[in-house]
Amino acid sequence: MEERGVDLALVSVGADLPYLVGYEAMPLERLTMLVVRIDAEPVLVVPELEAPRVEPGPFRLRPWRETDDPVRIVAELAGSPRTAAIGDQTWARFLLALQDRLPGTRFVPLSPLTQTLRIRKEPAEVEALAGAAAAVDRVLARIPTEVRFGGRSERDVARDVVDLMLEEGHEAASFWIVASGPNGASPHHEPGGRTIERGDVVVVDVGGRRNGYCSDVTRTFVVGDAASDAADVHAVVAAAQQAGREAVAVGVSAGDVDAAARRVISDAGYGEFFIHRTGHGIGLETHEEPYLVEGNDLPLEPGMAFSIEPGIYLPGRFGVRIEDIVVVTDDGLRILNQADRSLVSVE
Ligand code: ZN
Ligand code: ZN
Ligand code: ZN
């Protein structure tokens, strides 16, 4: 805060608060806010009914009652700061009310401060990510023998996969994409009522939370035997994904990893069908920095964790994506997901 000329930090909903003090605010209309003054002990302002969930931490607790005005409490604790950094996901209504109460204060985003901390994972965080990845890998290993695809809806398959995620040690499932046949051409397809048929290519992209940290993995399956065009496209994506992994090293830029994966797909003639960045950071949130996108010249450092997930999306036909979570280490790369990357056949 001192380095950045910030005299007050206000941290509310989102992952910054659990990262800093181990408590996650409910994303409610009631205000939870950690008030960090550069010259005073931090204070956690919470609704009184949430106070029992708060474990002791490096802060003083200030519960507020249903008839109190929590914005006024925060403003009083704040004093008269010149520059306040406020969490990116704080509800606009609280920021607007605070701006009214603190007219002399300039508000800036908190993320530039917290991202410099969160972008490099500590060893315990890497182990938490590895545990989440291993859990979702066990789900993928069970899918071919335990989940029937043919003749069932995407929604039914997705429900089975979510059950497996919980059985394999996730506290919660965060998302469950099952995109069959032509629906696979939409990268974030919402599983629906389409009945899966023999010969369909099916993109399965799922993730959840385990010990607070996220898993996120994609494999592409085929129901029965793959048509040759599906096998060919899958081979291109697999080569692109491998090229992305092989490009990762300390000092290489995030954009260079994207370029390495993209080049394989472009060279095979599918460049216009790879319609998203190659990857995203992961930690307490499924999507966080660093982003592996063209033009990002951020150099990779040990401890950075992110996905590598190239895909090819052929409108009206099918899609293919392969995704792993990896961590940059001093001696290269640690791949957290080890599940079979081939075009696995399911029934
Ligand atoms: Zn995605
Ligand atoms: Zn994913
Ligand atoms: Zn992802």
Query: pLDDT tens track of the chain, all 347 residues?
Result: 999 999 999 999 999 999 999 999 988 899 999 999 999 999 999 999 999 999 999 999 999 999 999 999 999 999 999 999 999 999 999 999 999 999 999 999 999 999 999 999 999 999 999 999 999 999 999 999 999 999 999 999 999 999 999 999 999 999 999 999 999 999 999 999 999 999 999 999 999 999 999 999 999 999 999 999 999 999 999 999 999 999 999 999 999 999 999 999 999 999 999 999 999 999 999 999 999 999 999 999 999 999 999 999 999 999 999 999 999 999 889 999 999 999 999 99
- 185 and 79 in a common domain: no
- 285 and 144 in a common domain: yes
For residue 8, the CA-to-ligand 3 centroid distance in Å is 33
User: Does residue 3 lie in a domain region?
Assistant: no
- CATH number, domain of 34, equals 3.40.350.10
Among 118, 133, 157, identify where a domain stops.
118
Q: Which two tokens stand for residue 65?
A: 């009652």
Q: Which ligand is nearest the CA of 325, by number?
A: 3
For residue 1, the CA-to-ligand 3 centroid distance in Å is 31
- 44 and 152 in a common domain: no
- 154 and 49 in a common domain: no
For residue 234, the CA-to-ligand 2 centroid distance in Å is 17
pTM for the model: 0.94
- 78 and 13 in a common domain: yes
Q: Which ligand is nearest the CA of 280, by number?
A: 3
- 114 and 129 in a common domain: no
Rounded to whole angstroms, the Cα distance separating 279 from 321 reads: 12
For residue 216, the CA-to-ligand 2 centroid distance in Å is 5
Provide the H-helix boundaries in the chain.
16-21, 70-78, 92-101, 111-118, 123-146, 154-167, 228-247, 254-267
Element (H, E) at 60: strand 60-64
- Contacts by 25-30 with C-beta closer than 8 Å and gap 24+? 25/50, 26/50, 29/91, 30/70
Full DSSP string of 243-257: HHHHH--TT-BHHHH
Q: What was the pLDDT predicted at 75?
A: 98
User: Does residue 251 lie in a domain region?
Assistant: yes
For residue 144, the CA-to-ligand 1 centroid distance in Å is 23
Q: In a 10 Å sphere around its CB, with 0-12 CB exposed, 13-18 middle and 19+ buried, how is residue 328 labelled?
A: buried
Which domain range does residue 44 map to? 8-118
For residue 177, the CA-to-ligand 2 centroid distance in Å is 8
Q: What was the pLDDT predicted at 28?
A: 86
For residue 319, the CA-to-ligand 1 centroid distance in Å is 13
Find the radius of gyration of the CA atoms of the chain.
Answer: 23
- CA distances in angstroms from 5 to 34, 105, 119, 266, listed in the order given: 19, 13, 21, 45
User: Does residue 137 lie in a domain region?
Assistant: yes
For residue 308, the CA-to-ligand 2 centroid distance in Å is 9
For residue 63, the CA-to-ligand 3 centroid distance in Å is 37
- 128 and 112 in a common domain: no
Q: What was the pLDDT predicted at 210?
A: 98
Phi/psi at 52 (nearest 5 deg)?
Answer: -65, -20
Domains held by the chain: number: 2
For residue 1, the CA-to-ligand 1 centroid distance in Å is 33
For residue 219, the CA-to-ligand 1 centroid distance in Å is 13
For residue 197, the CA-to-ligand 1 centroid distance in Å is 24
Q: What was the pLDDT predicted at 26?
A: 87
Q: Which ligand is nearest the CA of 187, by number?
A: 1
- CATH number, domain of 309, equals 3.90.230.10
